[in-house]
């Protein structure tokens, strides 16, 4: 989505690199460590408890400096796509509940916001899990990436909307690895306090539907 919005906004860097696609291979080739190696390592380190990874789309820094509002829109497009997928997943759950195939879980978890209404249907069980993960994961990703700390999308949104007089500050932060690590540490600390209520809102919306 970052690559697509940048392309539509006048930056062809990601398009020329083959990034405007749902095919995962160009993205895997660009970020093999963040998309393959580190998710597997984090899964093993946590004993199968969680995975962490990342990816990015290339963009023209000069284009971003000339078009700060478009840069902010490009940066926001990833989390906005996450929230769009949350809506798609919740709408699908709502429709399947109306058909009597799913019910909301009495003890919702990330992979079981909704469960099969009747026992003995592996396909419906798998569909319920897939939709639950679709909603939960995209809430987590959307909220986490909107935190206004480097190197997350939320920081880039703030950078694009900030007065040009602050450009020097953002440039310093962007090119100083220590700030990137500090930002991730802050996000990792604050994330659960924000993501938990966001997931609660998603569950509340499902109950309201």
Q: Which residues of 74-94 are buried (b: 16+ CB within 10 A; e: fewer)?
A: bbbbbbbbbeebbeebbebbe
Among 4, 95, 97, CA closest to 57: 4
Q: 187, 152 in Cβ contact below 8 A?
A: yes
Please state, rounded to an integer, the average pLDDT across all residues of the chain. 91
Tokens matching residue 73 = 């829109």
Better pLDDT: 207 or 30: 30
Please count the helices (runs of H) and the strands (runs of E) in the chain.
Answer: 11, 2
pLDDT number for residue 129? 94
pLDDT at 119 over 90: no
Residues 6+ apart with CB under 8 A from 16: none
3-state class (DSSP) for residue 121: coil
The label of the residue with tokens 């419906």 reads 124
pLDDT number for residue 204? 87
3-state class (DSSP) for residue 103: strand
Give the pLDDT mean for 27-40: 92
Tell me the torsion sign for CA atoms 161, 167, 170, 174.
positive
Which 8-state DSSP code applies to residue 33? I
Beta strands in the chain (DSSP E): 102-104, 114-116
Rounded CA separation 19/184 (Å)? 25
pLDDT at 120 over 80: no
pLDDT tens for 53-94 read: 888 899 999 999 999 999 999 999 999 999 999 999 999 999
Tokens matching residue 180 = 């990137």
Model confidence, pTM:
0.89
pLDDT at 181 over 80: yes
């Amino acid at each position: 989505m970052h690559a697509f919005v940048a392309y539509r906004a006048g930056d062809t860097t990601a398009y020329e690199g083959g990034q405007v696609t749902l095919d995962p291979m160009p993205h895997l080739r660009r970020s093999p460590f963040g998309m393959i190696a580190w998710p597997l390592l984090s899964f093993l380190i946590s004993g199968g408890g969680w995975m962490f990874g990342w990816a990015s789309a290339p963009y023209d820094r000069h284009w971003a400096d000339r078009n700060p509002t478009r840069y902010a829109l490009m940066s926001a497009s990833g989390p906005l796509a996450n929230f769009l997928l949350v809506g798609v997943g919740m709408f699908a759950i709502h429709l399947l509940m109306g058909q009597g195939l799913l019910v909301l879980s009495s003890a919702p978890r990330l992979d079981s916001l909704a469960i099969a209404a009747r026992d003995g249907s592996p396909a419906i069980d798998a569909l319920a899990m897939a939709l639950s993960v679709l909603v939960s994961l995209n809430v987590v990703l959307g909220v986490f990436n909107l935190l206004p700390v480097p190197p997350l999308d939320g920081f880039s949104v703030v950078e694009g909307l900030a007065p040009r007089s602050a450009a020097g500050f953002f440039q310093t932060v962007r090119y100083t690895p220590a700030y990137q690590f500090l930002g991730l540490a802050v996000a990792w600390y604050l994330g659960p306090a924000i993501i938990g209520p966001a997931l609660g809102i998603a569950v509340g919306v499902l109950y309201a539907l």
